[in-house]
Structure 1
Amino acid sequence: MHIPDSMLQGAVCPVTAAFSVAGVAAVAWLVMKAEHKPTAGRFAAIVALIFAGQMMNFPIMHGTSGHLLGGVLASAALGTPLGVLAIALVVTVQSLVFLDGGVTVLGANVFNMALIGAGVGGWLRQRLAGSLGQYVSTAVAAWCSVVLASVAVSLELVIDGQAAPGTVFPAMVGTHALIGLGEAVISVAAVALLLNGLAATEGKAHVAAPLLAAALVALLLSPFASGFPDGLEWVAGKYQFLHESAPAFVGAMPDYTVAAISNASLSTGVAGLAGVVICFVLGFGLLRSMQGATR
């Protein structure tokens, strides 16, 4: 669901950027005021895991694929404010390093995936947990987070004049309703394995387990991800509002490849592993600096 630079070009870009800056600043303030926070290592490991998980596109119908957004998973693991920061950091790294999502539309992507996906999705999971239980509430919130993010993308496209509402809303929501089923399954499995499975452990296991999982997924599994276009790309191609243009920014590893490595699978795996390291280092530094600012 990463919007490229060529897809949105009007006033919706600075407007969503302003909303995203305000939203991220607000959740950062909440994090700094919170009495209990996970360790910097735990936060960084979850950020790295979400990055790796987003590389794993899975096929759905009509030659389309979807991938984990991870907002509800991040909020379940870290709390909703830190979940928003985690997804915002992942989306930013993807845009600046891998050209996955445009730089000029970074605000829109953060708004859709972090503020809606993790913020609204995490809030919904908390509201439902008491009546539905941990796993059902996770599944419902994860599905809703994907569908709501697709509604936001559709609205941005309509406002920007790129697509007609009668066309883009049914196509985007219908496609992402299916992708949301995959999101729900992955999120519930991750909560069971990485949260409840670690409940009886202490210390380094809370960092090592998600970080090791992230490294293995990025290095060994990401080369086998589905090559079908994701839901947004498929809808944009079908209704002809995806316009190819030169990127506004030159990333170090565009399209998750390393230029010096000719083997495609190895190139993707190494790029993915590099992304895991980058996300871990930045996530660790971000939370450590925020913890230091509150002392």
Structure 2
Amino acid sequence: MWWQSLLDHWILALHIPDGFLHAPVALLWWVPTVIMIGLALRAVQQSAAERTVPLMSVLAAAIFAAQMLNFPIVGGTSGHLLGGVLAAIVLGPWAGMVVMTCVIVLQAIVFQDGGIVAMGANIFNMGIATAAIGGWIARPLLVQDHAFTTNRLRIALVATATGWLSVMVAAVLTSAQLVLSDLPAGIVFPAMLGVHALIGIGEGVLTAAALLALVTARPDILQPGDTPTPMRTQLLTAGVFIAALLAVLAPLASPDPDGLERVAEDVGFLDRALDAPYQIMPDYTVPLLGETPLSTIVSGLIGVIITVGIVWGIAVMLRARRPSRS
């Protein structure tokens, strides 16, 4: 059945499974990842505004759901939104890193999407590096005189370019980690960068479209100053609804293998992947419902709810521990 093909190809994406990387390489990558997560949590704790809590929750849920929607690329390959640039443009680099970390950790622990040992590399590649590009390259280009630009052409160009760049940087980092794990650089780098150059176009277009939609519907979100409480409630409600809608549409995603899986098949290291030591909702399915579209939808909706709860809890805790200022 078509949905079984989809589920068979979902697990890799740019999420590195355990086994692809040698253990020392995977463990070593935890060091910069933990350092950056610690800095991000501290920065959010010190500077987060009231509206940061619902914004972080909404974006995390939307990015989680959007990553379930693979879009087709030429040559029988698919890609999906990473979302790091989008999160960092809206929230800033540090909050963007926290959001992406929560999404990637949830995907690995609950849905077995990416390895546990390799999670440090996955967080760094897809979360920290992409949010850094969004927060420290894209955001400064879009903020003029302490206000977010209203020039839609500028938004489209910057978002598209940095969205593409974020995918390429993630692909370069993944390729380097694979090469350090004894795969041939002359094959891995051209294969990974070639396919992800095309996937990056989709990332850029989706990032630009999301930002333009946000500027049109709720321009106040991107401007300095806090959002009134009723508007924050409306924002959270609308955002969760959009994320849930994306999860419902997940069975319509492209069944083609994603970039890393395609390269693993072509280069011949797919068999290095190790099965997860446990299963909760593997491959975005609910075990009691089997490998069906309904199972995918239900698992996606559960993921949206968990994501909102986790990110909301972390954001509230950080704000509660924020030192008082005289």
Matches within 5 A, 1:67-216: 67-129=80-142, 133-161=154-182, 163-199=183-219, 202-216=231-245
Shift in CA distance, 105/263, structure 1 to aligned 2, threshold 3 Å: closer
Distance 1:263 1:95 in 2: 19
Distance 1:23 1:44 in 2: 20
Quick one: which amino acid aligns to residue 309 of structure 2? Answer: V
* Structure 2: tracts of 5 or more residues without a match: 1-13, 145-152, 222-230
Structure 2 match to 1:5: 18
Aligned with residue 33 of structure 1, among 34, 38, 46: 46
Aligned with residue 21 of structure 1, among 16, 34, 38: 34
The Cα RMSD (Å) is 1.8
1:139 Cα offset (Å): 1.1
Shift in CA distance, 232/27, structure 1 to aligned 2, threshold 3 Å: same
Retained in 1: the 8 A contact 2:15–2:114?
yes
Larger Rg: 2
TM-score normalised by structure 2 residue count: 0.85
Quick one: which amino acid aligns to residue 235 of structure 2? Answer: H
Aligned with residue 306 of structure 2, among 274, 278, 281: 278
1:56 Cα offset (Å): 0.4
1:250 Cα offset (Å): 1.5
Distance 1:245 1:102 in 2: 9
1:15 Cα offset (Å): 1.1
Q: Secondary structure at the match of 1:156?
A: helix
Structure 2 match to 1:241: 269
Q: Secondary structure at the match of 2:78?
A: strand
Distance 1:195 1:86 in 2: 21
Retained in 2: the 8 A contact 1:54–1:67?
yes
Distance 2:96 2:271 in 1: 32
Out of 195-204 and 89-98, give the one that drifted further.
195-204
Moved over 4 A (4+): none
TM-score normalised by structure 1 residue count: 0.94
Distance 1:222 1:259 in 2: 17
Quick one: which amino acid aligns to residue 280 of structure 2? Answer: A
Retained in 2: the 8 A contact 1:71–1:122?
no
1:134 Cα offset (Å): 2.4
Identity rate, percent: 39
Structure 2 match to 1:56: 69
Quick one: which amino acid aligns to residue 157 of structure 2? Answer: V
Quick one: which amino acid aligns to residue 247 of structure 1? Answer: D
Q: Deviations over 1:24-51 (max 9, x none)?
A: 1111111112163534222111100000
1:174 Cα offset (Å): 1.0
